[in-house]
Amino acid sequence: MGMTMTQKILAAHAGLSEVRAGQLIEADLDLVLGNDITTPVAINEIKKLDKQSVFDKDKIALVMDHFIPNKDIKSAENCKCCREFACQHEITNYFDVGEMGIEHALLPEKGLVVAGDAVIGADSHTCTYGALGAFSTGVGSTDMAAGMATGKAWFKVPSAIKFILTGSLPKWVSGKDVILHIIGLIGVDGALYRSMEFTGDGIASLSMDDRFTICNMAIEAGGKNGIFPVDEKTVEYMKEHGKRPFKVFEADEDAEYDEVYTIDLSALKSTVSFPHLPENTKTIDETGDIAIDQVVIGSCTNGRIEDMRTAAEILKGRKVAKGIRCIVIPATQAIYLQSMREGLLETFIEAGAVVSTPTCGPCLGGYMGILAAGERCVSTTNRNFVGRMGHVDSEIYLASPAVAAASAVTGKISGPADLGL
């Protein structure tokens, strides 16, 4: 029996000719990632080892992004811990205020991940890099510590689900709607510890930003990882953003999949995930009349340049509804700068929104947009669990940048069509 794309990458990194679902392997790593929340825990674990060095200072990335710029004393101490560790071990890829960004937007932008890589990160949305044809998955801080020290990690080889994408997306429908539709279809545990492998002629119509968004939320379906095949768009992106050599792995024709789903992209509509699970989805024409208090456009899911452009196109010449707080967060300094050069930031501010330096902030209820009891937020982030963005009695509605921007204008959950677009 043949292997899936993920299985081939894992076999190569384990030095094996083949692997099978359920097999335990030890694989070499191309990159180990941590942030300002998870890295201090990993550092404390490394301090317990006899050998307290890192395996390769060039293959570790520490990104200060969750509570950056520091929101309080504890977050400042966490970053100081990371900063001192990075200095001590001469970590090449340490990103702090002024050059940081939200980690899962920043690393591809910096060319630190390429096709064929095996990557672990002490953050659950590390699965984002599957958009580049890499195997990437989230781990705990203890596994991150072991990875930093040894350059290796243990894995149980996942089985896979195939998603055949056909057609192309309608105007205002994006990768966020694709993944919300899939999560609504299979549930938050529908891909539990399985690889979500995307294929089909519809992939050619998806931008890299769409693919990053789709893979980013694979974990919200319980997936071990999400992964796209490498095509011309992937190669162009990698060449534009870095110089590392890459290796293309393709699934065998006789690869085994637990399930196969075919999705016609042209039939999809803007989709909203209602509280309090990502699987609780409704299309925009099913949402009803739901008043909101806040809109957040950003995060590792939807803070990229296409997201900024989409939101600005809708907000151009319009105003955020009175009483609505609209917070826009470009995911990296480069995206922030590009947005400024294109006049997008001016559009946001003239509309009555605020623009923040890159940060995860509101996504995890950290800061820059905490919700009070009874408040509702339309957010382009990836989770809407109870209390995720603030008070346990608040509500989060996950949506695309198009829906978020339209909702900011109307003051209720809305799609671009509600604005005549």
pTM of the predicted model, to two decimals?
0.95
Q: Nearest Cα to 129, choosing from 110, 153, 157, 101?
A: 110
* Cβ-contact 275, 292 below 8 angstroms: no
> Tell me, what DSSP letter sits at residue 320?
P
pLDDT of residue 51: 79
Q: Look up residue 240 and give its two tokens.
A: 């534009």
Domains (ranges, CATH) in the chain? 5-264 (3.30.499.10), 271-419 (3.30.499.10)
Using CA atoms, how far residue 13 sits from 8, 222, 339, in Å, is 9, 23, 38
Q: Nearest Cα to 408, choosing from 344, 309, 329, 318?
A: 318
Cis, bond preceding 181 (omega within 30 deg of 0): no
Cα gap 401→182, rounded to integer Å: 18
> Tell me, what DSSP letter sits at residue 170?
P
- Strand, coil or helix: what is 277? coil
**Tens-level pLDDT at each residue, the chain (421 residues):** 899 999 999 999 999 999 999 999 999 999 999 999 999 999 999 999 887 899 999 999 999 999 999 999 999 999 999 999 999 999 999 999 998 899 999 999 999 999 999 999 999 999 999 999 999 999 999 999 999 999 999 999 999 999 999 999 999 999 999 999 999 999 999 999 999 999 999 999 999 999 999 999 999 999 999 999 999 999 999 999 999 999 999 999 999 999 999 999 999 999 999 999 999 999 999 999 999 999 999 999 999 999 999 999 999 999 999 999 999 999 999 999 999 999 999 999 999 999 999 999 999 999 999 999 999 999 999 999 999 999 999 999 999 999 999 999 999 999 999 999 9
pLDDT of residue 49: 87
Q: Look up residue 298 and give its two tokens.
A: 């950003």
* Cβ-contact 210, 180 below 8 angstroms: no
- Strand, coil or helix: what is 21? coil
DSSP E strands, 100-250? 118-121, 135-138, 152-156, 159-166, 194-199, 225-227
HSE on the CB side for 140, CA within 13 Å?
A: 5
pLDDT of residue 50: 81
pLDDT of residue 59: 97
Strands 60-63 and 31-35: parallel
pLDDT of residue 263: 98
DSSP codes, 197-218: EEESGGGGGS-HHHHHHHHHGG
pLDDT of residue 63: 97
pLDDT of residue 21: 96
Each residue of 11-36: pLDDT tens digit?
999 999 999 999 999 999 999 999 99
Q: Look up residue 236 and give its two tokens.
A: 């162009």
Q: Which residues pair with residue 312 across a beta bridge? A: none
DSSP E strands, 298-421? 325-328, 354-355, 376-379, 395-398
Phi, psi torsion values for 369, nearest 5 degrees: 145, 40
Each residue of 258-316: pLDDT tens digit?
999 999 999 999 999 999 999 999 999 999 999 999 999 999 999 999 999 999 999 99
